[in-house]
Amino acid sequence: MTELKSLIAEKISEIVKNNYGTSPEICDIISAFEYPPDDSMGDLAYPCFKLSPIFRKGPNVIAQTLAEQFDCPSVAKAQSVGGYLNFFISDEYYSDKLLKGIIDKGQDYGKTDIGKGQTVVLDYSSPNICKPFHVCHLGSTVIGHSIKKLHEFVGYKCVGVNHLGDWGTQFGKQIYAYKTWGNKELVEKGGVDELVKLYVRFHEEAEHNPELNDKARAEFHKLETGDEENLALWKWFVELTIDECNRSYKRLGIEFDSYAGESFYTDKMPEQVQKLKDQGLLKIDNGASIVDLSEYNMPPCLILKSDGSTLYPTRDIAAAVYRHNTYNFAKCIYVTSAQQCLHFQQLFKVIELMGYDFYDKLVHVPYGTISIDGEKLSTRNGNVVLIKDLIDTAVSKVTDIMREKSPDLENLEDVAEQIGVGAVVFYYLMNDRIKDINFVMSEALSFDGNSGPYAQYAYARTCQLLNKVGETKQTKFKVTEKPERELLKVLSRFGETVLCAVRDYEPSDVTRYILDVCTAFNRFYHDCPIMSAEDKEVKATRIALTKATKTVLGNALPLICMKTPTKI
């Protein structure tokens, strides 16, 4: 639809200029287009209210003038209604331009090169070492990876960074807990689960014995200053955690280009701390080193504790500088919980005050919290749901469903894995990322509702239909029925949807669009028989529509981390 919008916008601009002597920019006309809520109002609408103040004419008068003079072969009719100029797209455009265009472009349909020659660094997932890879990490992981896939789709070179939480006072707690109550054989056997038990026990003991927190801080200080015993324990904890996380990443189909965590920047922080001192930005407050941000209506940004230990801002400043020097990014995107919004506001402001000219290329993408059946989760209290357990449950339930419905399906277990994993991901990405999510397994696994299985089943149906009817050699198509037009109208929006998702860092735009495609395709499939169509052009058109739907779903599903099984 982007191409047609440009064509119509040029015609509008020409008419407006001829009648009023001047015209808005083409891009402004394009951005004003709307999709009418009812097909009786056309396929595309331009609100003339925007022109009324400029030309001192009523929107109805302007719309009527445009309608009377508008002429474009791709538009069957231009109609003035209530200050809007409504456009009815011709069947010839649908069949000769749009449908053929989707099929000809195939895997490239919807792609652009707006990011060509530019690099985007994405910081996402970033689990904490010694803690379980639980569903609270799911948002950063799948939102971040989807944003990465979306940027790649429009031409950017992307660098996915898993900024591991492998440094900080919590490791003092973990080391103290292990030295006090730990057992090497139990940890080697139980892995992260055993480390979590120790971490939970530390907090339980510390509630009654607060001085344990001082001992934990002392252990972390020893780690920061290179104590061999603590370094060896820390490296062991890191290896155990990464091994467990990688098993879930593999199931989700996610790979990272860098695992440079917080510890990677230990030797890079002193330079940034010194820069803050040299610029007079660092102040001492009760022994701690801070950057005063009161002028910007923010609390102070803590850079060093009173004992000289570093904090998140210190490491994040060093990381941002390193990434810019290494990758020369056009954007550096941080995908984290909305609870960290203040942290990133402070971070970006401090980087700006330090004189780094890339501060405006830093982007924080926040997301809401997740609960399971309404229950909030907490690692500290030992109340967590692991991602691996959530996926295992989904896959197990899908396997049972498929054994009942499709017992003879080849590679049933592999397909069940794709659908189970997809169900979890799709459910999470279906709503605006900033909204809190209550994960309900029965809704996520539904084959009939707005779900991942529903979307994957629609894709598999297109594959099965095309296998049955075969490829058509017909090159001339004929759109004749409303469901055909409606399906094509939805398919035409794919490229625009991708660009909106990239602009707003919003994977849910694509997720909801996929559901629109599935709904339109199922209506078309129900109302427009393929095999029994007598007219060769009509039959070829419906086969082509099925292929176009397969193309769009096949391009869209991977953008939200979904697999595309051809049989279900």
| From-to residues of CATH 1.10.730.10 in the chain | 387-560
pLDDT at 375: 62
Place of tokens 């991901």: 425
Domain 2-89 has CATH 3.40.50.1110: no
Phi/psi for 312 (5° steps) reads -55, -50
Among 172, 235, 233, residue whose Cα is nearest residue 203: 172
Q: Residue 34: helix, strand or coil by DSSP?
A: strand
pLDDT at 435: 93
pLDDT at 268: 95
pLDDT at 561: 95
Question: Within 13 Å and on the Cβ side, how many CA atoms surround 31?
Answer: 8
| From-to residues of CATH 3.40.50.620 in the chain | 121-372
Query: Domain 121-372 - what CATH class?
Result: alpha beta
pLDDT at 374: 64
Strands 301-304 and 437-439 turn out to be unpaired
pLDDT at 257: 95
DSSP structural state of residue 127 = P
DSSP annotation string for 434-481: TS-EEE-HHHHT-SSSSSHHHHHHHHHHHHHHHHHH-----------S
Here the tokens at position 268 are: 């890079």
Give the helix, strand, coil percentages of the chain, each rounded to 5. 60, 10, 30
C-alpha 401 chain-centroid distance: 29
Residues 6+ apart with CB under 8 A from 516: 490, 493
pLDDT at 117: 97
Q: What is the pLDDT of residues 384-430, one digit of tens each?
A: 788 999 999 999 999 999 999 888 898 999 999 999 999 999 999 99
Note whether 530 and 521 are within 8 A (CB).
Answer: no
Residues 6+ apart with CB under 8 A from 565: 415, 418, 419, 456, 459, 460
pLDDT tens over the chain, length 568 residues: 788 899 999 999 999 899 888 888 899 899 899 999 888 889 999 999 988 888 888 999 999 999 999 998 899 999 999 899 999 999 889 888 899 999 999 999 999 999 999 999 999 999 989 888 888 899 999 999 999 999 999 999 999 999 999 988 889 999 999 999 999 999 999 999 899 899 989 999 999 999 999 999 999 989 988 899 999 999 999 999 999 999 999 999 999 999 999 999 989 999 999 999 999 999 999 999 999 999 999 999 999 988 887 889 999 999 999 999 999 999 999 999 999 999 999 999 999 999 999 999 999 999 998 888 766 655 555 557 889 999 999 999 999 999 998 888 989 999 999 999 999 999 999 999 999 989 888 899 988 888 999 999 999 999 999 999 877 676 778 888 999 999 999 999 999 999 999 999 999 999 999 999 999 999 999 999 988 887 888 899 999 999 999 999 999 999 999 999 999 8
Q: What is the pLDDT of residues 341-386, one digit of tens each?
A: 999 999 999 999 999 999 999 999 999 988 887 666 555 555 578 8
Task: Report the first-to-last Cα separation within the chain, whole angstroms.
Answer: 32
DSSP annotation string for 260-326: --GGGGTTTHHHHHHHHHHTT-EEEETTEEEE--GGGT-PPEEEE-TTS-B-HHHHHHHHHHHHHHH
The CATH classification number of 387-560 equals 1.10.730.10
pLDDT at 533: 80
